[in-house]
Structure 1
Amino acid sequence: MKYLKNKIIHFLIFGGIYMDVEVLARAHGQQLVGYEGIKPLSLMGFTSLWMFLVGGLCGVIIGGLNDRPGYYNLKMWKQVLIGGTTITLVELFSGIFFNLYLGLHLWDYSKDRFNFMGQIELKNCIWWYVLPILIIWLDDVLSCYFYGDDRPPSLIMYLVKLVTLR
């Protein structure tokens, strides 16, 4: 029960962070949302309330992987590769569900180069391979807080492991 409670807290934290990432990127001129129309519950122009679910899901999946020795014992670049691919696939399938199936039109990348079905595009996919290092580190920090695990090294040390291919 404690594990489920903590994963719900992780879901809430990562969902909020995911929305914040979109808002910050838009504040700095990046276009994460390409659709020009306004639909209910979409907060077009900034982020979507639905992205809270997507971000929470990504955080819980990658955090859940990070709880398994087969994942956290991998070299950091492999963890980032798996995490980035996970985020990209969650983005694709959530786009297919929310945009194409439900017709919410939360985003549409069909006018951008290197898009796939208008739901994902290369520029944002590159960013999805940056986020896992932050998710892994924050999951370790939360595990330290919730489970009393050892205090993780600084985020800089995680980046050093990535850059040095350790």
Structure 2
Amino acid sequence: MTGERQLKKVSEYLFLWALGGTIYYEFEMIFRGFSHWSMFVLGGICLCFIAWQGKMVHWRDALWRQMVRCVIFVAAGEFFTGIIVNKWLRLNVWDYSDQPMQLFGQICVPFLIIFSGLCVIGIFLSSFLLHILYGEEKPSFHIL
């Protein structure tokens, strides 16, 4: 890989990380009234994964399949971040203990449903931004 191409990839992922972090942080500020820097970091990592997985399949996998991959990644990221931030560091950023179908208060099914919608938005957003801003492959989506 040439130096120019490597720089382009770094630029793409830094852009996606900052955008994903900002969107998720602001999402929490609007709906919860507060957030934490760890949510910025996690939101950025999640948007980078969303773009990466789409690029790996050239945005041609069924949308539902991409969404499932992304939700699994987001759930794992939220769980491990929660274990570190909430349990080990005791920062108590969130607690889903009062939610149905939760695991150690770090993830729960109702929020995974919300995250699935955010993942679909992330798939569309990252694919079109990478195409428009960086000249990446034009996305082509289908439901099934």
Question: Shorter-chain TM-score: what band?
Answer: 0.7 to 0.9
Question: Is 1:130 aligned to residue 89 of structure 2?
Answer: no
- Residue 21 (structure 1) aligned to one of 21, 27, 30: 27
Identity of aligned residues (%): 28
Question: Is 1:78 aligned to residue 65 of structure 2?
Answer: yes
What is the alpha-carbon distance in structure 2 between the residues aligned to residue 150 and residue 120 of structure 1?
34
Instruction: Give the drift of 1:151.
Output: 5.4
Aligned to 1:49: 37
Which ranges of 4 or more aligned residues in structure 1 deviate by more than 3 Å? 149-153
Instruction: Give the drift of 1:152.
Output: 5.0
Instruction: Give the drift of 1:111.
Output: 2.5
- Residue 15 (structure 2) aligned to one of 9, 31, 48: 9
Instruction: Give the drift of 1:18.
Output: 0.8
- Contact in 1 for aligned 2:100/2:110 (Cα 8 Å): no
1:67-120 per-residue CA deviation (whole Å, 9 max, x = no partner) reads 112x62211111111111111111111101111111111111122232110111
Instruction: Structure 2 unaligned segments of length 5 or more: list them.
Output: 1-6
**Count of residue pairs the alignment pairs up:** 138
What is the alpha-carbon distance in structure 1 between the residues aligned to residue 137 and residue 97 of structure 2?
45
Instruction: Structure 1 unaligned segments of length 5 or more: list them.
Output: 27-44
Q: How does 1:78-157 map to 2 (within 5 A)?
A: 78-149=65-136
Higher share in helix: 2
TM-score (norm 1): 0.75
What is the alpha-carbon distance in structure 1 between the residues aligned to residue 54 and residue 137 of structure 2?
14
What is the alpha-carbon distance in structure 2 between the residues aligned to residue 13 and residue 147 of structure 1?
15
